[in-house]
């Protein structure tokens, strides 16, 4: 089943310094023709997920003081032993990155 997808442009960066270029780009996009096309959600969701993960990975790689990066160098992939409860996995992760101490 294909559902129509529509997007609405909202100006959410009003009165925020440094967003002039983004505003200009957004306003120039308004003059582009609108295309009606069908895109199944099962094709859109993986693309959106990959886009977000790539962005987060770039941020993680560029951060100067990113404590988890040496422990979890790849964003979105965290593996723990099957024998460890979720609570214990969280405690272990926090201890590894220095968020908690005992």
pLDDT of residue 102: 60
User: Is the pLDDT score of 76 beyond 80?
Assistant: no
- Six token digits for residue 79: 């593996």
Position 17 scores a pLDDT of 63
**Residue 73 pLDDT level (bands cut at 50, 70, 90):** confident
Convert the pLDDT of each residue in 23-42 to its tens digit.
788 888 888 888 887 778 88
Q: Which of 84, 83, 80 is nearest to 71 (CA)?
A: 80
The pLDDT mean for the chain works out to: 76
Boundaries of every domain in the chain: 20-97
- The string of pLDDT tens digits covering residues 5-15 is 566 565 555 66
- Print burial letters for 16-48: b (CB count within 10 Å at least 16), e (below 16): eeeeeeeeeeeeeeeeeeeeeeeeeeeeeeeee
């Amino acid at each position: 089943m294909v559902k129509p997808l529509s997007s609405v442009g909202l100006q959410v960066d009003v009165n925020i310094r440094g967003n002039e270029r983004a505003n200009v780009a957004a306003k120039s996009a308004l003059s582009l023709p609108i295309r009606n096309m069908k895109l199944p959600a099962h094709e859109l969701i993986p693309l959106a997920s990959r886009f977000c993960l790539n962005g987060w990975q770039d941020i993680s790689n560029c951060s100067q003081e990113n404590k988890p990066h040496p422990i979890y160098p790849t964003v979105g992939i965290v593996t723990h032993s099957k024998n460890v409860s979720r609570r214990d996995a969280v405690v272990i992760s926090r201890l590894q990155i220095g968020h908690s101490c005992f």
